[in-house]
Amino acid sequence: MLDCSRNAVMKVSKLKEFIDFLSKAGYNALELYLEDTYEVEGEPYFGYMRGRYTIEEIREVDAYAKKCGVELIPAIQTLAHFTNLVKLPQFADIVDVNDILLIDADRTYELIDKMFSSLSKAFSTREINIGMDEAHLVGLGKYLDLHGYTNRYEILLRHLNKVAGIAEKYGFNAHMWSDMFFRLNNHGNYYGRGLTVSEDICRNVPENVAPVYWDYYHTDEADYDAMITSHKAFGRELWFAGGAWSWVGFTPHNDFTLKSMLPAMRSVRRNGVDNVIITMWGDNGGECSPYAVLPSLVYAAECAKGNFGEENAKKRFAELFGEEWDDFMLCDFVDEDLKKQQKEGFSLGVKEMLYSDYFLGTFDCGVLGTGEERKAYEKLAEKLEAAAKRSKNYGYMFESYAALARVLAVKYDLGYLTREAYEKGDKNALAALLPDYEKTLENLENFVAVYEKQWMKENKPHGFDVQDIRLGGIIRRTKSCTRRLRAYLNGELEKIAELEEATVDLATGGEPQKNGAWYNHYGTIATANIL
């Protein structure tokens, strides 16, 4: 599954190239995740200015996929995750709460019918993923105001039956994410050994809808076994979705993908689950190149054949691409040199440290400030630059990652060192940091240039406006902080107010994730203020 909804809408030419890869690796289907990034006839605001695929574009890709032996399948939303749709006043009357559509509203089903009608013209397949995941507050917004409190399972099932009826009208067989069936029965929990869904609920799931158990997190085979057993209560064909970790910012997390994929694939093979999806999400911006997770995709494909172990995948990877597996694994930015420089249990992702503010110091609590982090990123940048020269087809991607590593080689601890010197009243130490601010600015400008090149090569231009805004923001903030730091050193500014306020250790506020990014949302990272 390729996410084409979080700003990055892959170009048609690149979709064809990606399908070539999938076919060679042994995949027989590609699900395109499309929240509102596809044409819906009669709905001009659906996917407005988002780079949506036209019906003709999808037909072109669909025909190409057929030639390659790959089935192109739409993966859409029919309940929640309408993040962009709910921004528009044209759809205000069918919003329940947050990004959830209003159940039992006639216009909701008129819209969904139009969606299916357009999809039926664009795709030749009659398989469809209807979404319905993470609708946590369903029935608790406008629905509650209109109808009073209603059993939320009742609401969900009524909606599902209506959507299933529309799917059947257009000849589609549907599968859907299963989490809400479990969450509503288990106090919001989806994962856990022994979680169940009542027999009554299972009986009322429409016959033309198959559940999809999604799990990207566990490293113990027994966890997957338990959830597969729980899903068998539906008495339907079961699908499983694992994850190629492409959603933690600019960089992937192939390392953890492999750790979670091995037990997952062993479990699904042993439990007779034939339909397996590998998801490539683009949460909060679609910043990561889809090609950065090629090792994960090859690994999953080999595991599906029963060829377990990294060495099998490495061999296959070399056969398919003539590229260096180890070069691609560098894209994780979590090599051993960097791991050694981070506090126990505190995993600082690249996105956090790229956007972390120099004066606000949100993530300073995770920085050691020994200078070793800088050395590690410099070393990584050199490795990535060498990989760019070796790569036959992905040199541009390695150049982008190398430029990002160069930014972090200076910026990673710059805020920490600034605060440390300021709190000590050491103006000489502060003055010594000014060249680092200037170097960071230079490196940021270079990264934006090569990253734009990467984006435009892989995606439609739509969505890069967000990257311009975000990256332009940190460039502007670098200039602003540099100017204020100079003013303080020159005596023009009595104090730097943000540095007067003590920071708190975020690690004490809850358990930080041990794998992947702790925070992935730009708004959370960039500022403590309202964004």
Say which residues have a Cβ less than 8 Å from residue 119's Cβ, sequence separation at least 6: 38, 74, 76, 128, 170, 172
Q: pLDDT band for position 348 (50/70/90)?
A: low
Residue 44 is predicted with a pLDDT of: 97
Q: Is the pLDDT of residue 347 over 90?
A: no
Q: How far apart are alpha carbons 157 and 278 in whole angstroms?
A: 27
Tokens encoding 147: 């109808």
**Per-domain residue ranges for the chain?**
1-176, 178-325, 333-526
**Structure confidence at residue 185 (pLDDT):** 87
The confidence score (pLDDT) of residue 368 equals 81
Under DSSP, the state recorded for 485 is H
Per-residue model confidence as pLDDT tens digits over 323-332: 999 999 999 9
203 pLDDT higher than 80: yes
Task: Give residue 370's pLDDT band: very low, low, confident or very high (50, 70, 90).
Answer: confident
Which architecture, in CATH terms, is 1-176? Answer: Alpha-Beta Barrel (3.20)
**Amino acid at residue number 460:** K
Which pair of tokens denotes residue 82?
């309408």
Q: How confident is the model at residue 512 (pLDDT cuts 50, 70, 90)?
A: very low
Separation CA 286–CA 35 (nearest Å): 13
What is the Cα–Cα distance from 94 to 265, expressed in whole angstroms?
40
Spell 77-114 as b/e; 16+ CB within 10 A means b: bbbbbbebbbeeeebeebbbbbbbbbbbbeebbebbbb
100, β-bridge pairs: 97
Closest to 474 measured CA to CA, from 514, 434, 437:
437
Q: 333-526: which CATH topology?
A: Four Helix Bundle (Hemerythrin (Met), subunit A) (1.20.120)
CB 247 within 8 A of CB 288: yes
Q: Give the Cα-Cα-Cα angle 493, 497, 503 (nearest 5 degrees).
A: 145
What does residue 29 show for φ and ψ, rounded to 5 degrees?
A: -155, 150
pLDDT digits 0-9 by tens, 275-299: 999 999 999 999 999 999 999 999 9
**Which residues share a beta bridge with 45?**
none
Residue 48: predicted pLDDT? 96
DSSP 8-state code for residue 280: B
- In this model, does residue 506 exceed pLDDT 80? no
Per mean pLDDT, which range of 152-166, 342-356, 373-387, 406-420 is the poorest?
A: 342-356
Q: Hey, what are 62's tokens?
A: 């669909």
Using an 8 Å Cβ cutoff, are 297 and 244 in contact?
Answer: yes
Q: Which residue has the higher pLDDT, 345 or 378?
A: 378
Q: Please name the CATH architecture into which domain 178-325 falls.
A: Alpha-Beta Barrel (3.20)
Task: Kindly report the pTM of this predicted structure.
Answer: 0.95
- Give pLDDT tens digits for 100-147: 999 999 999 999 999 999 999 999 999 999 999 999 999 999 999 999
Other CB atoms within 10 A of residue 468 CB: 11
- Write out the DSSP string of 378-441: HHHHHHHHHHHHH-SS-HHHHHHHHHHHHHHHHHTTHHHHHHHHHHHT-HHHHHHTHHHHHHHH
Which of helix, strand or coil describes residue 350?
Answer: helix
1-176 and 178-325: identical CATH topology = yes
Q: What does the alpha-carbon distance between residue 32 and residue 222 come to, in Å, rounded to a whole number?
A: 30
Token pair recorded at residue 418:
């600034």
How much is the pLDDT for 42? Answer: 97
Alpha helices, H only, 123-178: 142-147, 152-169
- Backbone φ, ψ for residue 175 (5° rounding): -130, 155
Contact by Cβ (8 Å): 426, 355: no
